Amino acid sequence: MTENIGVLGKKSTKPAQRTGVERVVNAPLPTVYGMFRAVGYLDHDRGDEQVALVHGDIGTENVLTRLHSECLTGDAFGSQHCECGDQLSSALSAVVAAGGGVVVYLRGHEGRGIGLLAKLRAMALQAEGLDTVEANLALGLPVDARDYGVAAAILSDLGVRSVRLMSNNPRKGEALLRHGVQIAEQVPLLIPPCEDNITYLRTKRERLDHHLPHLDAVAHWS
Protein backbone atom coordinates (compact mmCIF):
# COMPACT_ATOMS: atom_id res chain seq x y z
CA MET A 1 0.00 0.00 0.00
CA THR A 2 1.17 3.55 -0.68
CA GLU A 3 0.44 6.41 1.68
CA ASN A 4 -0.81 9.81 0.45
CA ILE A 5 -1.76 13.07 2.12
CA GLY A 6 -5.24 14.22 1.15
CA VAL A 7 -6.42 17.81 0.61
CA LEU A 8 -7.47 18.11 4.26
CA GLY A 9 -4.13 16.89 5.52
CA LYS A 10 -5.47 13.46 6.41
CA LYS A 11 -3.57 10.37 5.49
CA SER A 12 -5.16 8.11 2.91
CA THR A 13 -4.09 4.88 1.36
CA LYS A 14 -4.57 3.40 -2.09
CA PRO A 15 -3.22 0.28 -3.74
CA ALA A 16 0.09 0.64 -5.49
CA GLN A 17 -0.28 0.66 -9.26
CA ARG A 18 0.40 -2.80 -10.63
CA THR A 19 2.92 -3.35 -13.39
CA GLY A 20 3.93 -6.22 -15.61
CA VAL A 21 1.90 -9.13 -16.96
CA GLU A 22 -0.55 -11.05 -14.78
CA ARG A 23 -2.05 -14.45 -15.57
CA VAL A 24 -5.81 -14.13 -15.04
CA VAL A 25 -7.49 -17.27 -16.39
CA ASN A 26 -6.81 -20.69 -17.88
CA ALA A 27 -9.72 -22.16 -19.84
CA PRO A 28 -10.15 -25.11 -22.21
CA LEU A 29 -10.71 -24.01 -25.81
CA PRO A 30 -11.82 -26.62 -28.35
CA THR A 31 -11.16 -25.39 -31.90
CA VAL A 32 -11.41 -26.71 -35.44
CA TYR A 33 -7.64 -27.32 -35.23
CA GLY A 34 -7.70 -29.24 -31.96
CA MET A 35 -7.92 -28.71 -28.21
CA PHE A 36 -6.11 -25.76 -26.68
CA ARG A 37 -5.84 -24.08 -23.33
CA ALA A 38 -6.58 -20.37 -23.58
CA VAL A 39 -4.37 -18.72 -20.98
CA GLY A 40 -5.47 -15.11 -20.49
CA TYR A 41 -3.24 -12.31 -19.26
CA LEU A 42 -3.58 -8.65 -18.36
CA ASP A 43 -0.75 -6.34 -19.32
CA HIS A 44 -0.88 -3.80 -16.51
CA ASP A 45 1.59 -1.49 -18.26
CA ARG A 46 -0.43 -1.04 -21.46
CA GLY A 47 -3.88 -2.16 -20.36
CA ASP A 48 -4.11 -4.79 -23.09
CA GLU A 49 -5.75 -8.18 -22.57
CA GLN A 50 -3.59 -10.93 -24.06
CA VAL A 51 -4.02 -14.64 -24.70
CA ALA A 52 -1.74 -17.59 -25.29
CA LEU A 53 -3.20 -20.69 -26.92
CA VAL A 54 -1.35 -23.72 -25.57
CA HIS A 55 -1.63 -27.21 -27.04
CA GLY A 56 -0.30 -30.33 -25.38
CA ASP A 57 2.52 -30.70 -22.90
CA ILE A 58 4.89 -28.02 -24.16
CA GLY A 59 7.86 -28.53 -21.83
CA THR A 60 10.45 -25.79 -21.47
CA GLU A 61 12.91 -26.14 -24.37
CA ASN A 62 12.52 -25.94 -28.15
CA VAL A 63 8.81 -25.16 -27.88
CA LEU A 64 7.12 -24.63 -31.24
CA THR A 65 5.88 -21.05 -30.90
CA ARG A 66 4.14 -18.40 -32.94
CA LEU A 67 3.94 -14.74 -31.86
CA HIS A 68 0.95 -13.56 -33.87
CA SER A 69 0.26 -9.85 -34.14
CA GLU A 70 -3.42 -9.00 -34.00
CA CYS A 71 -4.86 -8.34 -37.47
CA LEU A 72 -8.63 -7.86 -37.51
CA THR A 73 -8.87 -7.54 -41.29
CA GLY A 74 -6.85 -10.68 -41.96
CA ASP A 75 -7.69 -12.87 -38.96
CA ALA A 76 -11.44 -12.18 -38.79
CA PHE A 77 -12.45 -10.82 -42.21
CA GLY A 78 -10.21 -12.95 -44.45
CA SER A 79 -8.49 -9.99 -46.09
CA GLN A 80 -6.12 -10.91 -48.89
CA HIS A 81 -4.23 -7.67 -48.52
CA CYS A 82 -1.93 -9.57 -46.12
CA GLU A 83 -1.22 -13.21 -45.25
CA CYS A 84 -2.01 -12.86 -41.53
CA GLY A 85 -5.17 -14.97 -41.39
CA ASP A 86 -3.53 -17.85 -43.24
CA GLN A 87 -0.44 -17.62 -41.02
CA LEU A 88 -2.58 -17.84 -37.87
CA SER A 89 -4.43 -20.87 -39.23
CA SER A 90 -1.19 -22.54 -40.31
CA ALA A 91 0.44 -21.91 -36.93
CA LEU A 92 -2.48 -23.41 -34.99
CA SER A 93 -2.45 -26.43 -37.27
CA ALA A 94 1.31 -26.80 -36.91
CA VAL A 95 1.36 -26.90 -33.11
CA VAL A 96 -1.39 -29.52 -33.10
CA ALA A 97 0.47 -31.60 -35.70
CA ALA A 98 3.63 -31.32 -33.59
CA GLY A 99 1.79 -32.53 -30.48
CA GLY A 100 2.46 -29.34 -28.53
CA GLY A 101 3.19 -25.66 -28.86
CA VAL A 102 2.10 -22.12 -28.16
CA VAL A 103 0.47 -19.37 -30.21
CA VAL A 104 0.69 -16.04 -28.41
CA TYR A 105 -1.95 -13.72 -29.86
CA LEU A 106 -0.65 -10.19 -29.36
CA ARG A 107 -3.32 -7.54 -29.06
CA GLY A 108 -2.22 -3.95 -29.51
CA HIS A 109 -0.12 -4.99 -32.52
CA GLU A 110 -2.70 -4.05 -35.16
CA GLY A 111 -1.03 -2.60 -38.24
CA ARG A 112 2.46 -3.31 -36.83
CA GLY A 113 1.45 -1.37 -33.74
CA ILE A 114 -0.18 1.74 -35.24
CA GLY A 115 -3.80 0.72 -34.57
CA LEU A 116 -6.77 -0.30 -36.68
CA LEU A 117 -7.88 3.07 -38.06
CA ALA A 118 -4.33 4.12 -38.87
CA LYS A 119 -3.80 0.78 -40.61
CA LEU A 120 -6.90 1.37 -42.73
CA ARG A 121 -5.62 4.83 -43.64
CA ALA A 122 -2.31 3.27 -44.63
CA MET A 123 -4.15 0.68 -46.74
CA ALA A 124 -5.98 3.51 -48.52
CA LEU A 125 -2.63 5.11 -49.35
CA GLN A 126 -1.33 1.77 -50.60
CA ALA A 127 -4.31 1.58 -52.95
CA GLU A 128 -3.06 4.90 -54.37
CA GLY A 129 0.40 3.49 -55.04
CA LEU A 130 2.46 3.79 -51.87
CA ASP A 131 4.00 0.69 -50.35
CA THR A 132 3.34 -0.33 -46.74
CA VAL A 133 6.48 1.41 -45.45
CA GLU A 134 5.86 4.63 -47.39
CA ALA A 135 2.22 4.70 -46.26
CA ASN A 136 3.08 4.60 -42.56
CA LEU A 137 5.72 7.29 -42.98
CA ALA A 138 3.33 9.48 -45.00
CA LEU A 139 0.96 9.37 -42.01
CA GLY A 140 3.78 10.42 -39.69
CA LEU A 141 3.77 7.00 -38.02
CA PRO A 142 6.55 4.49 -37.32
CA VAL A 143 7.10 1.68 -39.78
CA ASP A 144 6.92 -0.88 -36.97
CA ALA A 145 5.91 0.09 -33.43
CA ARG A 146 5.50 -3.40 -32.00
CA ASP A 147 7.08 -4.44 -28.71
CA TYR A 148 7.58 -8.10 -27.81
CA GLY A 149 8.31 -7.69 -24.10
CA VAL A 150 4.81 -8.87 -23.18
CA ALA A 151 5.25 -11.96 -25.37
CA ALA A 152 8.50 -12.80 -23.61
CA ALA A 153 6.81 -12.34 -20.23
CA ILE A 154 3.97 -14.68 -21.23
CA LEU A 155 6.41 -17.33 -22.43
CA SER A 156 8.34 -17.01 -19.19
CA ASP A 157 5.14 -17.49 -17.18
CA LEU A 158 4.43 -20.64 -19.21
CA GLY A 159 7.90 -21.93 -18.33
CA VAL A 160 9.25 -21.62 -21.87
CA ARG A 161 12.98 -20.97 -22.06
CA SER A 162 13.69 -21.59 -25.73
CA VAL A 163 11.49 -21.66 -28.82
CA ARG A 164 11.27 -22.91 -32.35
CA LEU A 165 9.86 -19.64 -33.62
CA MET A 166 7.40 -19.78 -36.51
CA SER A 167 8.16 -16.52 -38.27
CA ASN A 168 9.66 -15.05 -41.41
CA ASN A 169 10.63 -11.89 -39.54
CA PRO A 170 14.14 -12.02 -38.01
CA ARG A 171 13.34 -9.02 -35.80
CA LYS A 172 10.91 -11.09 -33.72
CA GLY A 173 13.69 -13.49 -32.81
CA GLU A 174 16.04 -10.63 -32.03
CA ALA A 175 13.42 -9.07 -29.76
CA LEU A 176 12.86 -12.31 -27.84
CA LEU A 177 16.60 -12.73 -27.38
CA ARG A 178 16.81 -9.25 -25.87
CA HIS A 179 14.13 -10.31 -23.38
CA GLY A 180 15.89 -13.53 -22.43
CA VAL A 181 14.07 -16.12 -24.57
CA GLN A 182 16.46 -18.28 -26.58
CA ILE A 183 15.80 -19.10 -30.24
CA ALA A 184 16.54 -22.75 -31.00
CA GLU A 185 15.31 -22.44 -34.58
CA GLN A 186 13.43 -20.01 -36.80
CA VAL A 187 10.76 -22.00 -38.65
CA PRO A 188 9.48 -20.49 -41.93
CA LEU A 189 5.76 -19.83 -42.16
CA LEU A 190 5.39 -19.32 -45.90
CA ILE A 191 1.94 -18.70 -47.36
CA PRO A 192 1.39 -18.85 -51.14
CA PRO A 193 0.95 -15.28 -52.37
CA CYS A 194 -1.97 -13.99 -54.38
CA GLU A 195 -2.32 -11.10 -56.76
CA ASP A 196 -3.76 -8.88 -54.03
CA ASN A 197 -0.84 -9.26 -51.60
CA ILE A 198 2.22 -9.88 -53.78
CA THR A 199 3.30 -6.21 -53.69
CA TYR A 200 2.85 -6.09 -49.92
CA LEU A 201 4.87 -9.27 -49.45
CA ARG A 202 7.65 -8.08 -51.73
CA THR A 203 7.86 -4.88 -49.71
CA LYS A 204 8.13 -6.89 -46.49
CA ARG A 205 11.01 -8.84 -48.01
CA GLU A 206 12.84 -5.91 -49.59
CA ARG A 207 12.33 -3.22 -46.96
CA LEU A 208 11.57 -5.09 -43.71
CA ASP A 209 14.01 -8.00 -44.12
CA HIS A 210 11.41 -10.76 -43.99
CA HIS A 211 12.68 -14.10 -45.27
CA LEU A 212 10.29 -14.91 -48.12
CA PRO A 213 12.23 -16.99 -50.68
CA HIS A 214 9.06 -18.47 -52.16
CA LEU A 215 8.28 -15.13 -53.81
CA ASP A 216 11.07 -15.76 -56.31
CA ALA A 217 8.85 -18.31 -58.04
CA VAL A 218 6.14 -15.69 -58.67
CA ALA A 219 7.00 -13.70 -61.77
CA HIS A 220 3.66 -13.26 -63.54
CA TRP A 221 2.34 -10.49 -61.24
CA SER A 222 3.91 -7.08 -61.62
Q: Active-site residue numbers?
A: 144, 146
Q: How far is CA 185 from CA 21, 62, 95, 100, 182, in A?
A: 26, 8, 15, 16, 9
Torsional class of 87: left (φ above 0), alpha (ψ -120 to 50), beta (otherwise): alpha
Query: Alpha-carbon distance 172 to 125, whole Å?
Result: 26
Q: State the pairing for strand pair 11-14/2-5.
A: antiparallel
Query: Alpha-carbon distance 86 to 104, whole Å?
Result: 16
Query: Alpha-carbon distance 7 to 25, whole Å?
Result: 39
Beta bridge partners of 11: 5
For 161, list phi and psi in degrees, rounded to 5.
-110, -30
